[in-house]
């Protein structure tokens, strides 16, 4: 399993709404992520900056690259676009994080 880490950015004052929406994550979205080979997906908030830091595990034969074309993923992005920085098409802006240290 490969670990993938990235940063996203909330709009000011949107932390509570972000948590509320993720606490009610759609079952079809959770299933889609698992079917694509994603597991152990975690998102952390820096409350001072609104930065979100995410980590997830990718199965060797994962289908993560196919997710942007899936209708459920597109609806989720549209659902989240008002509270975070997004690209054209409402995909959340992601900044990759570089591994610097790992203690196993």
Catalytic residue numbers, as ranges: 22
* Strands of the 51-58 sheet, one edge to the other: 38-46, 51-58, 2-9, 95-96
> What's the count of helices (H) and strands (E) in the chain, helices before strands?
3, 4
């Amino acid at each position: 399993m490969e670990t993938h880490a990235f940063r996203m950015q909330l709009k000011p004052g949107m932390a509570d709404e972000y948590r509320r929406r993720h606490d009610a994550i759609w079952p079809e979205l959770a299933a889609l992520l698992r079917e694509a080979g994603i597991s152990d997906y975690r998102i952390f908030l820096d409350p001072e900056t609104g930065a979100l830091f995410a980590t997830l595990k990718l199965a060797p034969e994962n289908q993560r690259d196919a997710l942007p074309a899936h209708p459920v993923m597109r609806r989720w992005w549209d659902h989240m676009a008002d509270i975070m920085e997004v690209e054209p098409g409402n995909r959340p802006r992601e900044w990759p994080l570089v591994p610097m240290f790992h203690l196993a």
